[in-house]
Structure 1
Amino acid sequence: MLVSKKEIEVRYAETDQMGVVYHANYLIWMEVGRTKLIQDLGFSYAGMEEEGIISPVVDLEISYKKPLRYGDIAIIHTWIDEYNGLKSVYGYEIYTSAGELAVQAKSSHVCVKKDTFKPITLRKRFPDWHEAYEKAKK
């Protein structure tokens, strides 16, 4: 199983009045993690979009374990938790620089044609991606 890792320094603008990372910013960091994983597999999500294919989130699970604060380093671990050719489920764990688990999450995605939102399969449209996902999944 391939686990991609990406570090992000928590910026002041990402915190709320309580001084902790605002909950929705973790979703942005998850996107950063997915993009890094796709790059680590040798592909580009932007390249997929140029071909008229997008990958919307269809389900999301997130569990907040420990707050991160301004100046902390968030370390995002991302992997392919499930994949069946149509739906991809990405797993995430976001850690503090001390190695403490801050967030556990999963996001489910399908690939669709941008103009019609009709689903496509990676297996048929992007066979190289399909093969890489099969090899990299949990």
Structure 2
Amino acid sequence: MIVNETQIKVRYAETDQMGVVYHANYLVWMEIGRTNLIEDLGFKYAELEEYGILAPVLDIHASYKMSCKYGETVTVKTWLDHYDGLRIRYGYEIYKETGELAFTGTSSHVCVKKDTFRPVSIRRTHPEWHEAYLKALKK
């Protein structure tokens, strides 16, 4: 399985008055990790959009274990958790710089045509992405 590790320096704007990261920012960090994982696989999400394909979120699961704080550097680990040619689920773990697990989560997506929002099979439209996703799951 291929795992992307992305380092993020917690910015002041991501925190509340107590210096604790606001919960929705973890979702932003998930997106950063997901985008970086796609690039590790040799692709860019913008390429799908150029072909008129989007990958909206179907479902998000988030479990907050420990607070991250302003000034820390966190590590976002992202991997493919499930892929069936149509639906994709990514897994995430976010670690504090001490190595403590702060967050776990998943996001589920489906590829759709931009103009109709009807699901499309990546297996058919982008076989190179399909093969890379299958390979990433096996390693």
Cα offsets for 1:98-134 (capped at 9, x unmatched): 1110100000000001111000011001100000100
- Structure 1 counterpart of 2:124, which letter? K
What RMSD in Å do the two structures reach over aligned CA positions?
0.8
Secondary structure of 2:97's counterpart equals coil
CA apart distance, 1:17? 2.3
Partner of 1:29: 29
The answer for the alignment partner of 1:125 in structure 2 is 125
The amino acid that maps onto 1:53 is I
Aligned amino acid, residue 50 of structure 1: E
Matched residue, 2:69? 69
Q: CA deviation at 1:66?
A: 0.6
Name the % identity: 62
- TM-score (ref. length: structure 1): 0.98
Q: How many residues align?
A: 138
Q: Hey, what's the Cα distance between the residues in 1 that align with 2:17 and 2:107?
A: 27
CA distance in 2 between counterparts of 1:6 and 1:60 reads 20
The list of structure 1 runs, each at least 4 consecutive aligned residues, that deviate by more than 2 angstroms after superposition, is none
Letter of the structure 2 residue corresponding to residue 22 of structure 1: Y
The runs of 5 or more residues in structure 1 that have no matched partner are none
**TM-fit CA distance, 1:16:** 1.1
TM superposition score normalised by structure 2: 0.97
Q: Match of 1:10?
A: 10
